Amino acid sequence: MDHKKEVWGSRLGLILAMAGNSVGLGNFLRFPVQAVQNGGGTFIIPYLVCFLLMGIPLLWIEWSMGRFGGRRGHHSTPFILGSMHSGSLWKYVGVFGIFTNIAVAAYYCYIESWTLSYTFHSIRGTFTGLSQTEVAGYFNDYVSMGTNFFGIPNEAIFFFIICILINTYILSRGLAGIERVAKIGMPLLILFGGFLAIRGLSLGTTAASEEFPLANAWDGLNYLWTPQYESLLLPGVWLAAAGQIFFTLSVGMGTIHCYAAYMDSKDDIALNATSAGFTNEFVEVVLGSLIVVPIAAGYFGLDWVKENIGFGMAFQSMPFLFSQWGPVLAALAGIFWFGLLFFAGITSSLAMGTPWMGFMRDEYGWGQNKGALSFGFLTLCLGFPCVIFYQHGFFDQYDYWAGTVSLVIFALAETILFAWVFGIDKGWKEINDGADIKIPVIFKWVIKYITPLLLIFVFVGALFTPEGNNWVGAFNQIFSGQGWPLDHSSLVMQLSNSELKQNLSGAINADEIK
């Protein structure tokens, strides 16, 4: 067994790998949807506040926990958390940081595989000459059951397997493999995104035609970026903003600890973590808001975007809109767009594999090949239900539990561990050890009080989300003695309802009848 300390090849490699970990499908598929659904400009202030008071502090916490554990030879959250306090409880909390990754990787890799397939079809010109309805229909068929002999979406499964093989191969090359992908993928992603953004902003019609209404790309941008202060009083918007910050920065999952565990023990955290975090925010708020929304608004108008936004728009509308640019530019734009998504996706899914591999190596001495293969296998097995039940709501439920709820719980636990159990004085010292910049001391206070309070607020909010996310109405109702109207999506309701089971059994029956 080879237990010599594995470390990142260079500082640039570390930052790019960390930025690649954060920059993902969430920046391009999730952010615009969250922003539009939460009122555009109303979303942006809570979002930025959550970034500053929760996101950045959590990055510092996770980076320094990771480096702390790495110094002691640990590379996954059970042991990293365990090394910060003698109680065995924390080790078990750390287990979240392995399983959440595998659970999220399962559907994340599935979506990643769509981007692979769509890149391929853009090159082939599959979407040339199709109408909007046909392009949307193509996607629906792609993820549908029962369109062929085996009754499973063959092509989707084919690309899913290819995608997992690619991930497995790169993971088997260790940190060097991840670093190389990040060094190639991140610059390309920014280049591709820049091209699409600039092209997008020049879009608009001067008069309504038969096919398109009077539309302008800038309407989309203005809608996203005109701050609306009344949103500060809407807890629902805050919850959505907090959830997006978690997902997009990859905090609360264990991947950041794991990457940081492979740093040199005296490497800077303050500047590196901040740079990686801001890179993610640049890609998210700049590139993430300059592509789907403006391009769609440039053709169909803002109202259409507001009504139809969803993460499928990236697949159901973009290829059609690109085809307005003529066959050559359309192919190029398709390659840029889906290629960008693929690079964003793979640098994140690789990150999700490392905690499992680190754990199996530290605990059982598994080598890289065995670690990577077992991760690929687990992801494939867990991914299958996502493939098969995609259209029956399984996906959303799964994303909610694995990709939202457990992140918040884990982040809350680790913040308490760091600031209160390990102790903020020691913690602050860890963050600033070897630092290349001086973090304002006020953040010591933020980490101790504000971050955990915000986290508790988010968690309690998720537990008790009222009907229709209408908090003002719910408070009025409870004060007038009518009780609190719980929404179906609230955690409390989720814990007690069997809607998912019904959906699933309904789905299975429907398939049998066919």
User: What residues from 440 to 459 belong to the interface with ligand PHE (CB under 6 A)?
Assistant: none
- Total number of residues that touch ligand PHE (CB under 6 A): 14
Q: At what angle do helices 270-281 and 56-71 cross, to 10 degrees?
A: 140
DSSP H or E run through 162 = helix 154-172
Half-sphere exposure of 286 (CA within 13 A, CB side): 14
- Contact 108/344 with Cβ under 8 angstroms? no
- How many residues can be counted in the chain? 514
In the complex, residue closest to Na ion by CB: 248
Residue with tokens 């690789």: 350
Write down the least CB distance from residue 30 to ligand PHE, Å.
7
Q: Residue 124: CB partners within 8 Å, gap ≥ 6? A: none
Alpha helices in 309-450 (DSSP H): 313-316, 318-322, 327-364, 368-388, 394-400, 406-416, 424-432, 442-445
Choose one: 56-64, 178-186, 346-354, 430-438; the region binding ligand PHE (CB under 6 A): 346-354
Told to check if 193 binds ligand PHE by CB under 6 A, we report no
Told to check if 21 binds ligand PHE by CB under 6 A, we report yes
Closest CA to 119 of 383, 333, 287, 390: 333
Residue with tokens 């109303």: 42
Please select the residue that binds ligand PHE; options are 8, 20, 27, 64, rule is CB under 6 A.
27
Residue 231 binding partner per list ligand PHE, Na ion, none, with a CB distance cut-off of 5 to 8 Å that depends on partner kind: none
User: By C-beta, is 58 or 331 nearer to ligand PHE?
Assistant: 58
Residue 83 binding partner per list ligand PHE, Na ion, none, with a CB distance cut-off of 5 to 8 Å that depends on partner kind: none
Half-sphere exposure of 390 (CA within 13 A, CB side): 23
Per-residue DSSP letters for 205-256?
-SS--SS--S-BHHHHHHHHHS--GGGGG-HHHHHHHHHHHHHHHTTTSSHH
Please, what's the largest Cα pairwise distance for the chain?
Answer: 70
Tokens of 480: 């007038």
Choose one: 79-87, 170-178, 294-302, 347-355; the region binding ligand PHE (CB under 6 A): 347-355
Told to check if 255 binds ligand PHE by CB under 6 A, we report yes
Choose one: 20-28, 58-66, 110-118, 191-199; the region binding ligand PHE (CB under 6 A): 20-28
Give the C-alpha separation, 34 to 39, whole Å.
9
Please select the residue that binds ligand PHE; options are 8, 15, 18, 26, rule is CB under 6 A.
26
Choose one: 52-60, 248-256, 258-266, 362-370; the region binding ligand PHE (CB under 6 A): 248-256
Give the C-alpha separation, 347 to 345, whole Å.
6
Binding site for Na ion (CB under 5 A): 22, 24, 26-27, 248, 280
Please select the residue that binds ligand PHE; options are 13, 20, 24, 466, rule is CB under 6 A.
24
User: By C-beta, is 34 or 83 nearer to Na ion?
Assistant: 34
Please select the residue that binds ligand PHE; options are 253, 302, 431, 491, rule is CB under 6 A.
253
User: By C-beta, is 157 or 256 nearer to ligand PHE?
Assistant: 256
Write down the least CB distance from residue 32 to ligand PHE, Å.
12
User: By C-beta, is 167 or 244 nearer to Na ion?
Assistant: 244
Choose one: 19-27, 257-265, 303-311, 474-482; the region binding ligand PHE (CB under 6 A): 19-27
Where on the chain is the footprint of ligand PHE (CB under 6 A)? Answer: 21-22, 24-27, 247-248, 250, 253, 255, 348, 351-352
